[in-house]
Structure 1
Amino acid sequence: MLSKTTDDATPTATPSWQEQALCAQTGPEFFFPEPGGSVNEAKQLCLACEGRTACLEYALANDERFGVWGGLSEKERLRLRRR
């Protein structure tokens, strides 16, 4: 899980959805695969997660450009932002 910091490098509170998210039970490599790697399994796990919507909103609000967030890949989030 990624944690956000303020300008003075003080960690901010972890959003409650992150603490209970299914991704917290897997390693980050699952959601941040090597270039050319598949994100299908990560997206399937996201579909079963109750925090999926909050995760996607977080990723869009914080301009997360890498990995699977809220069930969407980088390219899918970019297309969503452009709409």
Structure 2
Amino acid sequence: MIGCFARSGSIGDMQIDMTAQPQLAWQEQALCAQTGADFFFPEPGSSVREAKYICRMCTMRSACLDYALANDERFGVWGGLSEKERYALRRAAPRA
């Protein structure tokens, strides 16, 4: 499915190993499951533009972001937000 959105030589050629850990229901349907982890966990200083592009098309985006915030995911793009954006969101949230 993601191949139809991929630019030549980019996300369409990548695969992710989904056997490494048990999957949650939303993860099985997420577009990131069909692409490479390199897009969602780039090297420091690299662009997260392609990951965010994929996230914008994904129907599981809100479940992904909820998971990342609930589990304090500190690395990578989750739910369309970078590490810094999630940190800012957590800081702005009212304390319970």
Fold-level similarity (TM above 0.5): yes
More helix by share: 2
Gaps of 5+ in 2: 1-15
Q: Which runs of 4+ in 1 moved over 6 A?
A: none
TM (normalized to structure 2)? 0.72
Is 1:14 the counterpart of 2:23 in the alignment? yes
CA RMSD in angstroms comes to 1.6
Q: Does 1:26 pair with 2:47?
A: no
Counterpart of 2:72 in structure 1: which amino acid? D
TM-score, normalisation: structure 1:
0.83
Aligned-pair CA distance for 1:15: 1.4
Q: Paired residue for 2:63?
A: 54
Equivalent residues, number: 74
Give distance in 1, aligned partners of 2:65 and 2:91: 15
Amino acid aligned to 2:83: E
CA displacement, residues 38-74 of structure 1 (integer Å, 9 cap, x when unaligned) = 0011001101000000000000000000000000000
Letter in 2 for 1:33: P
Q: Structure 1: where are the runs of 5+ without partners?
A: 4-10
Q: Which has the larger radius of gyration?
A: 2
SS in structure 2 at match of 1:55: helix
Residues in 1 aligned to 2:46 and 2:77: alpha-carbon distance in whole angstroms: 12
